[in-house]
Amino acid sequence: MYMWQLLSYLGIFLFGLGIVISYSGGRDTTLLVGIGFAVFGNLSFNIWRKG
């Protein structure tokens, strides 16, 4: 398991959690953090793949 995979999954999880929290009337912080982790994970993957 690579670090970028972990970050991507964490980002997807936080993204989903953020959607749930924002629907229950909470803040959108978790959603933004989730998007950040997902984007960071994808960028890391692209860099790793290019080698």
pLDDT at 13: 81
Residue 35, classified by CB atoms within 10 Å of its CB into exposed (0-12), middle (13-18) or buried (19+), is middle
How many structural domains does the chain have? 1
Range of the domain at 19: 3-50
Residue 33 pLDDT level (bands cut at 50, 70, 90): confident
Is the pTM value of this prediction over 0.85? no
pLDDT at 1: 63
CA–CA separation, 11 vs 42, rounded Å?
Answer: 10
